[in-house]
Amino acid sequence: MKQSKIILLIVLLSVMTASYAMSNYSALQEGAEAQTERKPDASSPAQYKSTLQEPEMVAIASGGFQMGSPAGEAGHKKDEALHVVRIKPFELAATETTVGQFRQFIQATGYQTDAEKNSGGHAGCYINQGNNQLGWQAGASWKNPGFAQTDEHPVVCVSWNDARAYAQWLAQTSGKPYRLPTESEWEYAARAGTHSRYSWGDTASHEKANYGKDACCGGMIEGADQWPYTSPVASFAPNRWHLYDMHGNTWEWVADCWNTTTPEEPFDGSARLTGDCSRHVLRGGSWSDIP
């Protein structure tokens, strides 16, 4: 489990570094993706419904899976003890939330992000300052993260508050129950029925995802990964359940509060709403670290 993200982002040379860095900031400024769930039968009128860019959703079947990681796996932490979780069916966005989707929310509501409000005692966004060094950048926001993005890139400099606000707006506008996924739902979807460290196997690969430097060697750009920062969503093949960029590109926010211990039963796929709820959990790694 990684901390504050999700979506929106940070960069670090390693997953562990990233997770601790993020955990220190309640107003997280990472590239976040608001992955959401909805039920197919909900509908209601909404002002922006006719032009709303709803995410492409993927139906995820119910099932059980072993959450966490083996004690001997690289990067294993004490809150990742293996435990079986039962997941109810839900739908998840196929991609990270894009700049274009997020802009529609801002234009409809006039919402100001935490980065734009300099919330949490920090100015701007916690993001790459160049040379893969992370820090708070005054003036940086989803509109100006410090590197070029198109509407097809995942939105960054989005705090958990911002991600939740987007999901709530999407739900209200569409009449469908969009929300942030729970951490167990996210991990279930990221694993897509596999038991390996990554959904494609146990070895990180720039042929499979946009991430930073490998621990051993190489650079931010290798092979099919031609991006030093974010890549357009779905630039790499999806996992077996047709979900894109679950590893790398941007961290992704989930609904759960931050905890340093493995959860107690029931393992029913719900979010952990106890612990340190001034911080939330980010998953999946980003362009700047190993997924």
Which residues of the shown chain bind Ca ion in the complex (CB under 5 A)?
A: 210, 220, 225, 227, 245, 249, 284
Phi, psi of 154 (to 5 degrees): -70, 140
Q: What 8-state DSSP symbol labels residue 27?
A: S
Nearer residue to Ca ion within complex by CB, 102 or 227:
227
Distances (CA, A) of 43 to 7, 90, 124, 276: 27, 17, 37, 35
| Shortest separation between residue 206's beta carbon and Ca ion, angstroms | 7
Of 170 and 243, which has the nearer Cβ to Ca ion?
A: 243
Least separation, in Å, of the C-beta of 6 and Ca ion? 8
CA–CA distance, 52 with 31 (Å, rounded to integer)? 22
How far, rounded to the nearest angstrom, does the alpha carbon of residue 167 sit from its chain's CA centroid? Answer: 13
Smallest distance from the beta carbon of 265 to Ca ion, in angstroms? Answer: 29
Write a three-state SS string for 191-257.
HCCCCCCECCECCCCCCCCCCCCCCCCCCCCECCECCCCCCCCCCCCCCCCCCCCCCCCCCEEEEEE
Nearer to Ca ion, 164 or 213 (CB): 213
Q: Which is nearer to Ca ion, 104 or 286 (CB)?
A: 286
Q: Is 30 or 37 the residue whose CB approaches Ca ion more closely?
A: 30
CA atoms within 13 A on the CB side of 215: 10
Least Å distance between CB 211 and Ca ion?
6
Amino acid at 167: A
What are the CA-CA distances from residue 120 to residues 29, 190, 255 (Å)?
11, 30, 19
Least distance in angstroms from the C-beta of 44 to Ca ion: 30
| 65 vs 229, beta carbon nearer Ca ion | 229
